[in-house]
Amino acid sequence: MDDSLPDSPDLLASLAKEADDLPEQLKEIIAPTFSAAGMYVLRGLSVDDADLGPTPASWRVAGSAGALWDVTLLLLASAMGQPIAWQGQQNGRMVNNIVPTPGHEDEQTGASSAVLLAPHTEDAFHPRRANLLLLCCMRNHDRVATTASSVRMTDLTDDEVDALARPMAPILPDDAYTSSSADTPLPVRTLWRTPEGLQIRFDPAYTRLNDADPAYRKAYARLESELTRVTQSLVLQPGDVLVVDNDVVVHGRVPFRPRYDGTDRWLKRALVHVPDRDSRPASERVEHGYGQAVINPFCAGM
């Protein structure tokens, strides 16, 4: 973790206490209670575009840009669970800057712009991926849409769900990670049933579908079609915080043309582990996670 940024252990501990001390009415507004859509937008925060400064050219040079918003997002995350991060992503920062970056236009990562960012579960390759994803809009002059689809809004047959509930195809780490181990890829489930409804683990751009049998691939194509059918496009405004149930919703982004002049789209991202949620398949507990380590200041054994 980079202690030069507003995510030091002392600050995180104080934010956890501040979150506990929030008024009950505010806690109810913030609380991650989802409909079948699996997401909601918190509004009412104000961003001063002039005071914010230019959109960073990449996360590497962002430094403490928008640091007050890092603290705000971490406070919201602390009210919902335990903020987490990854040692191998953006130098272990607890809040990531999502900005278009020269040379990365065509990647399937948050630094891209020219291509459709395919709908995916955040960090689908890892068994200890976040339960919740928070995306806070800093700037979006071009009204670039974030896309989101809930698996609970799809219309799949029981046979299709059964096919995708088998661990058949591995999901590999995406290109945003600095390094990954050479562990043998393990097949994982795409869907599974819970008392609350279907849950999903999905990242087609990094899924080795050739490892799966024809029935799985056919069901996977149907799932992709259904997720497209129920897609919602959300144009986030500065100060909006999109809260996504990462076990239910896949998200992406439409293509756009960056200017690289300091006025491009800029989001901040935080990840949240919900300690009392235990709805993922038991088989995930033995996965290696390709050597990627989770940073959770409040749960050393995670």
Q: What is the pLDDT along the chain (302 residues), one digit of tens a residue?
A: 444 455 677 888 899 899 999 999 988 888 888 899 999 999 999 999 999 999 999 999 998 888 999 999 999 999 999 999 999 999 999 999 999 999 989 999 998 999 989 999 999 999 999 999 999 999 999 999 999 999 999 999 999 999 999 999 999 998 777 666 667 899 999 999 999 999 999 999 999 999 899 999 999 999 999 999 999 999 999 999 999 999 999 999 999 999 999 999 999 999 999 998 989 999 999 999 999 999 998 775 55
213: CB partners within 8 A, 6+ apart: 168
Query: Does residue 257 lie in a domain region?
Result: yes
Query: Does residue 301 lie in a domain region?
Result: no
Query: Does residue 1 lie in a domain region?
Result: no
Question: What's 196's domain CATH number?
Answer: 3.60.130.10
Residue numbers of the domain that contains 122: 9-295
Query: Does residue 193 lie in a domain region?
Result: yes
Give the Cα separation of 294 and 289 in Å (integer): 10
Query: Does residue 14 lie in a domain region?
Result: yes
Query: Does residue 3 lie in a domain region?
Result: no
Q: What is the pTM of this model?
A: 0.94
Closest CA to 99 of 89, 84, 113: 113
Query: Does residue 171 lie in a domain region?
Result: yes
The count of domains in the chain is 1
